[in-house]
Amino acid sequence: MQNYRIVVGYDGSDGGVRALDWAVAEAARHGGTVQAISAWEWTQPELGTGIRAEHEKLAAQALDQAVAIARRPHPEVTVSTEAVPGPAAGVLTRAAADADLLVLGSHGHSRLFHAVVGSMAEACIRVAACPVVVIPVPREAKQPAESTAPITTAVY
């Protein structure tokens, strides 16, 4: 039986943390491995290779720290990490080309935000060669509304 491999995108956000935690737990349930990827783009003017290298180093360190925390409940799960320069959707779908699952975290933005800016998760869903799981933003539990109806007492 081939190893169950999960690719997970990590961007340092709460959604990225939820996705990483879920991917590690899922790998533990299936005896699989996780490849955690932090995709980043250099958007600043080229000021020298030192600054860009430092940015890549910081991205890799943040990813390693997040993986260490995510593995605490499941130390048996093997997790590899990689900080890759490039647009996130392309980096992640290429990495997941032969994976069993691609896991992403939702940021919980509105439909209008997605219509104007686009969604990396939506781009991955359109082109990924494997199933894509998007971990949603947790919703607060709704409290029952207090009744404003008058209290009536029946006397028999």
Task: Give pLDDT, residue 108.
Answer: 67
Over pLDDT 70: what percentage of the chain?
A: 78
Going along the chain from its start, the domains and CATH numbers come out as 5-135 (3.40.50.620)
- pLDDT band, residue 1 (cuts 50/70/90): very low
Residue 114: pLDDT above 60?
Answer: no
Those residues whose C-beta lies under 8 Å from the C-beta of residue 64, and which sit 6 or more positions away, are 81
Average pLDDT, the chain: 84
Q: Look at the block and give the residue holding tokens 């008058």.
A: 150
* Rounded distance between C-alpha atoms, residue 153 and residue 77, angstroms: 61
Question: What's the pLDDT tens digit per position in 12-32?
Answer: 999 999 999 999 999 999 999
Task: Give pLDDT, residue 56.
Answer: 83
Query: pTM for the whole thing?
Result: 0.81
Over pLDDT 90: what percentage of the chain?
A: 57
Neighbours of 21 (CB within 10 A): 21
Residue 53: pLDDT above 90?
Answer: no
Q: Which residue has the higher pLDDT, 38 or 52?
A: 38
Calculate the CA 56 to chain-centre distance. 19
